[in-house]
A and B are shown apart, each in its own frame.
Chain A
Amino acid sequence: MGAVGIGGLAIGGSVLAACGDDEEDASGAKESIKAAWVYIGPPDDNGWTQEHDRGRLAAQAALGDRLETSFVPNIEFDAGTTETFQQLVDDGNDIIFANTEYAGLLTEVSDNAPDTKFCEINGHYYSDNLFPFYLAHETTAYQLGVAAGHLTENGRIGYIGAFPTATAFNDVNGLLLGARSVNPDATVETVLVSTFFDPQKAAQAANALLDAGVGFLFGVMDEPTFLQLSEEAGVWTGYWNLDFRSAAPTKYVSHFDLSEFGPFYTEQCQRVLDGTWVSQDEVWLLDTPIGDFGPNVPQDVQDAVLDVGAQLDSGELHVYEGPLNDNEGNQRLAAGETLDSLQAYAIDWPVEGVSGISPV
Chain B
Amino acid sequence: MTPLASIASAVLSVTPWRLERRLEVDAKRAALTRIGGAVGAMVVVGILLLLTGRNAFLIFWQALDAIFGRQRGIEGVALRGIPILMTALGVALSLRMKVWNIGSDGQFLMGALAAVGVGIHMDGPGWLVLILMAAAATLAGAAWILVPALARAYWDVNEIITTLLLNFVALQLVTWSALGFWRDKEAAVIQSTREVPFTLPGLPGANSVTIALLVPLAIAAVLWWVFRSTSIGYEIDIIGGNPRAAGFAGIAVRRRILIVMLFTGAIAGLGGMLQLSAPGAQAMNAGFSAQFGLSGFIVAALAGAAFWGVIGGGLFIASMFYAGIVLQTKGLSVYIIFAIYGVILTGIALGEIAARYRVVRRDSADESGTAAGQAASAPQGAGS
Contact = CB atoms under 8 A, between A and B. Distances in A.
B321 interface: yes
A167 B188 CA distance: 8
A107 B280 CA distance: 8
Contact of A83 (B70, B76, B195, B286): B76
Given A87-B325, A124-B187, A76 B69 contact: no
Given A79-B278, A80-B321, A360-B183, A12 B69 contact: yes
Given A84-B328, A104-B282, A5 B290 contact: no
B358 interface: no
B50 interface: no
Contact of A88 (B186, B187, B285, B329): B329
A163 B191 contact: yes
DSSP majority for the B interface? loop
Interface in B305-329: 321-322, 325-326, 328-329
B325 to A, nearest CB: 5
Interface in B340-369: none
B189 A104 contact: no
A13 B66 CA distance: 10
A9 interface: yes
Contacts of B76: 83, 86
A101 interface: yes
A163 B69 contact: no
Contact of A101 (B64, B65, B187, B275): B187
A279 interface: no
B72 interface: yes
Contacts of B281: 79, 82, 104
Contacts of B275: 79
Contacts of A101: 187-190
Contacts of B168: none
Interface string B158-178: 000000000000000001000
Given A5-B64, A79-B275, A124 B72 contact: no
B78 to A, nearest CB: 12
Contact of B326 (A78, A87, A122, A163): A87
A108 interface: yes
Interface string B49-86: 00000000000000011101110100010011001000
B185 interface: yes
A111 to B, nearest CB: 10
B15 to A, nearest CB: 38
A240 B102 CA distance: 40
Contact residue range for chain A?
35 or more
A187 to B, nearest CB: 23
A122 B175 CA distance: 20
B280 A108 contact: yes
Contact of A87 (B279, B283, B329): B329
A45 to B, nearest CB: 14
A112 to B, nearest CB: 9
A115 B210 CA distance: 26
Contacts of B283: 104
Contact of A13 (B65, B288, B334): B65
A351 B325 CA distance: 42
A80 B337 CA distance: 14
B189 A100 contact: yes
B287 A165 contact: no
Interface stretch (A25-33, A67-75, A242-250): A67-75
Nearest to A196: B189
B68 A104 contact: no
Contact of B187 (A10, A74, A103): A103
B246 interface: no
Contact of B188 (A70, A86, A87, A124): A124
A181 interface: no
A10 B80 CA distance: 23
B179 interface: yes
Interface string B188-202: 111110010000000
A259 B320 CA distance: 39
B175 A72 contact: no
Contact of B280 (A73, A82, A122, A360): A82
B331 interface: yes
Given A72-B329, A73-B334, A80-B290, A9 B192 contact: no
A102 B283 CA distance: 12
A177 to B, nearest CB: 21
B68 to A, nearest CB: 6
B290 A78 contact: yes
B290 A124 contact: no
B278 to A, nearest CB: 6
Interface string A40-59: 00000000000000000000
Given A77-B285, A90-B70, 19 more contacts: A5-B64, A9-B65, A13-B65, A77-B190, A79-B275, A80-B290, A82-B278, A83-B76, A84-B329, A86-B76, A87-B325, A102-B190, A103-B187, A104-B192, A163-B179, A165-B188, A166-B188, A167-B189, A194-B175
Closest 10 CB pairs of A and B: A101-B189, A9-B69, A78-B287, A77-B287, A108-B280, A78-B290, A82-B280, A87-B329, A105-B280, A108-B279
13 contacts: A9-B64, A70-B331, A77-B287, A80-B290, A80-B325, A88-B329, A91-B329, A104-B280, A104-B282, A109-B280, A163-B191, A167-B189, A194-B175
Interface of A: 5-6, 9-10, 12-13, 36, 70, 72-74, 76-84, 86-88, 90-91, 100-109, 122-124, 163-167, 194, 348, 360
